[in-house]
């Protein structure tokens, strides 16, 4: 049904703004539903163009014809918004008044939770739709990256890895002298053992 075929009701005075906000039954869809194909009018994507029918007539006779897809039909026009499906246990629409300070001049505002950025407003016999967004449906919660793994524990502290202060010059000299004395004593002991072995051989 085209939009220009509607007949205006001169007796219609409009629904008060508080009632528009309280119930989604007072709002209706006045344009066609967007189907899963992303179109408002269903198109059979399995149907081939007429030019291909003549070229592939023989192949089609041999092959079995695939099942014809079932046409998708959206809800009829003027369907109340209260019949829209919920999204992750969230109502598809959120309604509010533009101002509670001066309600006599407020308008009813409707926000879509399925298409973020889509809004509608109405007051009396006037209504309008506006959309400011990226053209993307609400797909649940946003992506949350996984928590990074815990940092690796540091190596255990011990004498072999504990940093120590450098020895002073006097300490180095004393250590070197002690090592030389130890080396000399070891050499003297080895010489004495060698002499004892020679004496045993002479006997």
Can you say how many angstroms the Cα of residue 65 is from the centroid of all Cα atoms in its chain? 41
pLDDT in tens, 13-54: 888 999 999 999 999 988 888 888 888 888 888 777 665 555
- Dihedral over alpha carbons 196, 198, 199, 203 (to 10 degrees): 140
Residue 72 inside a domain? The answer is yes
Q: In whole angstroms, what is the distance from residue 57 CA to residue 59 CA?
A: 6
Residues 104 and 186 in one domain: no
Tokens 């005075």, located at residue: 13
Residues 80 and 179 in one domain: no
Q: Are residues 105 and 21 in the same domain?
A: yes
Same domain, 118 and 179: no
CA-to-CA distance for 105 and 17, rounded, in angstroms? 9
pTM given for the model: 0.56
What are the structure tokens assigned to 158, written together?
């011990």
Structure confidence by residue, pLDDT tens digits, 142-184 = 778 899 999 988 877 777 777 878 888 999 999 999 999 999 9
Q: Are residues 52 and 103 in the same domain?
A: yes
Number of structural domains (the chain) is 2
Which helix or strand (DSSP H or E) is residue 175 part of? helix 169-202
Domain encompassing residue 190: 169-203
Residue 103 phi, psi dihedral angles, 5° rounding: -60, -25
């Amino acid at each position: 049904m085209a939009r220009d075929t509607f007949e205006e009701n001169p007796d219609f005075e409009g629904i008060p703004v508080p009632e528009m906000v309280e119930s989604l039954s007072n709002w209706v869809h006045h344009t066609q539903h967007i189907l899963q194909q992303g179109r408002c009018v269903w198109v059979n994507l399995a149907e081939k163009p007429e030019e291909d029918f003549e070229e592939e007539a023989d192949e089609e006779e041999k092959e079995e014809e695939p099942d014809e897809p079932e046409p998708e039909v959206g809800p009829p026009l003027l369907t109340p918004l209260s019949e829209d499906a919920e999204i992750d246990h969230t109502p598809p629409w959120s309604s509010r008044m533009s101002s509670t300070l001066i309600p006599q001049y407020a308008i009813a505002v409707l926000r879509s939770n399925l298409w973020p950025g889509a809004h509608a407003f109405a007051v009396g016999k006037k209504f309008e739709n506006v959309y400011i967004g990226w053209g993307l449906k609400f797909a649940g919660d946003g992506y949350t990256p996984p928590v990074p793994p815990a940092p690796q524990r540091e190596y255990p502290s011990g004498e072999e890895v504990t940093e120590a202060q450098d020895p002073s010059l006097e300490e180095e000299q004393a250590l070197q002298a002690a090592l030389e004395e130890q080396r000399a004593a070891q050499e003297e002991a080895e010489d004495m053992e060698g002499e004892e072995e020679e004496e045993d051989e002479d006997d």
